Structure 1
Amino acid sequence: MENNIFLKNVKSFIQMHSDGLLGGEIMPEDVLIGVVKEEELMDVLTLAMALNYQRNSYTLWESVVKAYQNPETNWIFNPILAANKNINELRAALLLHRVGLQPNRHPEIWQRVAKRIVKSSEKENVQGLIQSVQSDIATLKGIVQESRKSDFPYLSGPKIFNYWLYVLERYTNVSWKSRELITIAPDTHILKATVKLGLCSEEILNGGADDSKTVAIAWETALAGSGLAPIDVHTPLWLWSRAGFPPLLVS
Structure 2
Amino acid sequence: MNKIRYFMQKAANKKFPYLSGNMLCNYWLYALSNYIAIPLKNTNNIYITADKHLIKARYKLGIITKERMESSKVQTYVINAWTKELQSTEYVPTDLQNPLWLWSTKDFKTMN
- Structures share fold, TM-score greater than 0.5: yes
* Matching residue within 90, 98, 108 for 1:235: 98
Paired residue secondary structure (2:50): coil
* Structure 1 portions without partners, runs of 5+: 1-136
Paired residue secondary structure (1:143): helix
Paired residue secondary structure (1:185): coil
TM score, norm. by length of structure 2: 0.91
Indicate the percent of aligned positions where both proteins have the same amino acid. Answer: 34
Q: Judge conservation of contact 1:149–1:156 (CA < 8 Å) in 2.
A: yes
- Residues of 2 paired with 1:183 and 1:159: CA distance? 8
- Residues of 2 paired with 1:212 and 1:195: CA distance? 12
- Residues of 1 paired with 2:50 and 2:11: CA distance? 24
Which letter does structure 2 place at the counterpart of 1:168?
L
- Residues of 2 paired with 1:248 and 1:198: CA distance? 20
Tell me the number of residue pairs that the alignment of Structure 1 and Structure 2 aligns: 112
TM score, norm. by length of structure 1: 0.42
Residue in 1 that maps onto 2:33: 169
Paired residue secondary structure (1:175): coil
Structure ID, larger Rg: 1
- Residues of 1 paired with 2:10 and 2:52: CA distance? 26
Q: Judge conservation of contact 2:8–2:16 (CA < 8 Å) in 1.
A: yes
Residue in 1 that maps onto 2:63: 199
| 1:129-168 correspondence to structure 2 within 5 Å | 137-168=1-32
Shift of 1:167: 1.3
* Structure 2 portions without partners, runs of 5+: none
Larger mean CA deviation between 238-247 and 187-196 belongs to 238-247
Which letter does structure 2 place at the counterpart of 1:149?
N
Q: 1:169 to 1:190 in 2, by over 3 A?
A: same
* Matching residue within 36, 39, 43 for 1:179: 43
Q: Judge conservation of contact 2:32–2:38 (CA < 8 Å) in 1.
A: yes
Q: Judge conservation of contact 1:162–1:184 (CA < 8 Å) in 2.
A: yes
- Residues of 1 paired with 2:68 and 2:34: CA distance? 27
